[in-house]
C-alpha cells in the first residue's frame, strides 16, 4: 500500500537526515508514513514510527508486519519511553512533521476542518478534551487568550464573546459560521475561521508543549553525529524549533556587543543548524499544503544533553 498523501519537503528531509545502512531511524510523526517509507530505501537497520492517532496506525497497517519497522502509539513527547519499551536508548536520526496531517483534515468526522461540517472534535489521539468541551465550558477570557496567542486572531475578544453568548456548540459548521459572521470580510483567499480553528486545534492537543518535550527528548536520544530534521507549518512552532536549535548550538546572540562571550551555559549539544529550507514553487504548485512549511535541521554534537528546566522539556 502506498501513502495517499504527499510528504512535504521529502527530498530535503531525507538529505538532512543523511541516512546510512545500519542506522536506527525514528519518525516522530508517522502520519501517512511518507517519510518512514522513504527512509527504508536507505538500508537502515530499524525504523520506529510514532503517532498518537489510531487512524495513522490503521493507515500504515502494512508496515506493522515488517521486521525492520515498529509502530508505536504514543505522542512524540514520549519518544524515550516508547523506544525504551523496545530496548532502544540511542538513535541515529529523528524526523518531525509538526501539526495536523492531511488525513486528519480531509476527514470531516475528525472535526479539524472548517470547510466541511462535522463534530467539533479536533483530538489527534481521539481521547481527552475535545474542542467542543473547551468552548462550551471555558471562560470568555480563556477562549480569547487561546485564539489570540495560538492563532494570532486579532478579533479574539469579539469571537470569544459571541461563542459564550451562543454556546453550546457541537458542530464545526456552527462554529465556522459564527466566526464568519463576527469577522465579516476576511483577507483575500483566506477563510475567516482559519486562525480560530488553528488555535483551537493547537490548544486541544497541547501541540506546543508536545513540541518542547519532543525536541528535548530528541536531544537526549540522538547519538553524537545524529541528525534531527523538523518540518513545521505555523510561526509559533517554527519559532520554538528555531530557538531550540539556536540555544542548543550556542548560536544565541550575545546580550550586548560589550559582552560578546556572555554565554556560560552548557556546552553546545548541536552543531550550528543548517539554513532553514522552504518548499520550491514547483512543490507548492503540486501540493498547496506545502506552502507554509519550513524545514530546520541540525547535527548532534558529542556534548551531553542540556539539563531540563523545571516545568519545561
**Quick check: 88 pLDDT over 70?**
yes
The predicted-structure confidence for 192-246, as pLDDT tens digits, reads as follows 999 999 999 999 999 999 999 999 999 999 999 999 999 999 888 999 999 999 9
Mean pLDDT of 95-107: 75
**Selecting from 1.10.150.170, 2.60.40.10, 2.60.40.1930, 3.40.50.410, what CATH number does the domain 126-204 have?**
1.10.150.170
Mean pLDDT of 97-106: 71
* Dist CA 279 CA 236 (whole Å): 19
The predicted-structure confidence for 36-46, as pLDDT tens digits, reads as follows 999 999 999 99
**DSSP, residue by residue, 233-287:** -SHHHHHHHHHHHHHHTT-SPPS-TT-TT---SSPPSBPPPPPPB---HHHHHH-
**Quick check: 168 pLDDT over 60?**
yes
Q: How long is the chain?
A: 313
174 or 108, greater pLDDT: 174
292 or 47, greater pLDDT: 47
**Quick check: 33 pLDDT over 60?**
yes
* Dist CA 223 CA 290 (whole Å): 30
What was the pLDDT predicted at 312? 46
Structural domain boundaries in the chain: 10-101+207-299, 126-204
- Model confidence band, residue 1 (pLDDT cutoffs 50, 70, 90): very low
**Quick check: 255 pLDDT over 60?**
no
**Selecting from 3.40.50.970, 3.40.50.150, 3.30.428.10, 3.20.20.70, what CATH number does the domain 10-101+207-299 have?**
3.40.50.150
**Quick check: 256 pLDDT over 90?**
no
What was the pLDDT predicted at 125? 85
What was the pLDDT predicted at 41? 96
Mean pLDDT of 110-123: 86
34: closest CA among 245, 274, 300, 290?
Answer: 290
89 contact partners, CB below 8 Å, separation of at least 6: 83, 221
Mean pLDDT of 5-30: 95
3: closest CA among 74, 51, 75, 73?
Answer: 51
Cell numbers 509559533 correspond to 236
Three-class DSSP category at 282: helix
104 or 226, greater pLDDT: 226
Percentage of the chain exceeding pLDDT 90: 74
Radius of gyration of the CA atoms of the chain, in A: 20
Lowest mean pLDDT among 20-34, 114-128, 169-183: 114-128
* Dist CA 58 CA 156 (whole Å): 37
**Quick check: 27 pLDDT over 60?**
yes
Three-class DSSP category at 304: coil
Q: What is the dihedral of CA 82, 84, 85, 87, to 10 degrees?
A: 140
Q: Check if the beta carbon of residue 175 is closer than 8 Å to that of residue 169.
A: yes
138: closest CA among 147, 149, 126?
Answer: 147
**Quick check: 288 pLDDT over 90?**
no
What was the pLDDT predicted at 178? 97
* Dist CA 21 CA 100 (whole Å): 31
What was the pLDDT predicted at 258? 55
Mean pLDDT of 137-153: 96
Cis before residue 168, ω within 30 degrees of 0? Answer: yes
**DSSP, residue by residue, 71-135:** EE-S-GGGHHHHHHTTT---EEEEEEE-S--HHHHT-GGG---SSS--BS---SSS-S--HHHHH
What was the pLDDT predicted at 110? 81
Amino acid at each position: 500500500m502506498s501513502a495517499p498523501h504527499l510528504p512535504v519537503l521529502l527530498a530535503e528531509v531525507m538529505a538532512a537526515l543523511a541516512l546510512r545502512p545500519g542506522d536506527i531511524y525514528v519518525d516522530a510523526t508517522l502520519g501517512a508514513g511518507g517519510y518512514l517509507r522513504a527512509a527504508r530505501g536507505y538500508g537502515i537497520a530499524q525504523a520506529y514510527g510514532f503517532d498518537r492517532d489510531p487512524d495513522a496506525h490503521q493507515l500504515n497497517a502494512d508496515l506493522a508486519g515488517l521486521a525492520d519497522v515498529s509502530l508505536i502509539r504514543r505522542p512524540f513527547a514520549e519518544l524515550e519511553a516508547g523506544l525504551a519499551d523496545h530496548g532502544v536508548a540511542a538513535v541515529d536520526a529523528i524526523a518531525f512533521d509538526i501539526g495536523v496531517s492531511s488525513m486528519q483534515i480531509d476527514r470531516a468526522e475528525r472535526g479539524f476542518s472548517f470547510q466541511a461540517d462535522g463534530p467539533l472534535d479536533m483530538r489527534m489521539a481521539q481521547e481527552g478534551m475535545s474542542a467542543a468541551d473547551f468552548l462550551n465550558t471555558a471562560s470568555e477570557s480563556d477562549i480569547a487568550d487561546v485564539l489570540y496567542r495560538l492563532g494570532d486572531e486579532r478579533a479574539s475578544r469579539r469571537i470569544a464573546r459571541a461563542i459564550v453568548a451562543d454556546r453550546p456548540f457541537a458542530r464545526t459548521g456552527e462554529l465556522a459560521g459564527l466566526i464568519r459572521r463576527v469577522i465579516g470580510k476576511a483577507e483575500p483567499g483566506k477563510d475567516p475561521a482559519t486562525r480560530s480553528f488553528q488555535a483551537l486545534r493547537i490548544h486541544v492537543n497541547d501541540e506546543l508543549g508536545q513540541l518542547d518535550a519532543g525536541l528535548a527528548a530528541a536531544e537526549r536520544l540522538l547519538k553524537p553525529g545524529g541528525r534531527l530534521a523538523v518540518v513545521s507549518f505555523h510561526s509559533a512552532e517554527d519559532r520554538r524549533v528555531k530557538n531550540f536549535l539556536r540555544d542548543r548550538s550556542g548560536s544565541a546572540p550575545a546580550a550586548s556587543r560589550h559582552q560578546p562571550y556572555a554565554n556560560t551555559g552548557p556546552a553546545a549539544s548541536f552543531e550550528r543548524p543548517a539554513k532553514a529550507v522552504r518548499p520550491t514553487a514547483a512543490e507548492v504548485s503540486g501540493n498547496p499544503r506545502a506552502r507554509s512549511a519550513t524545514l530546520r535541521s541540525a547535527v548532534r554534537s558529542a556534548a551531553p544533553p542540556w539539563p531540563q528546566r523545571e516545568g519545561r522539556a
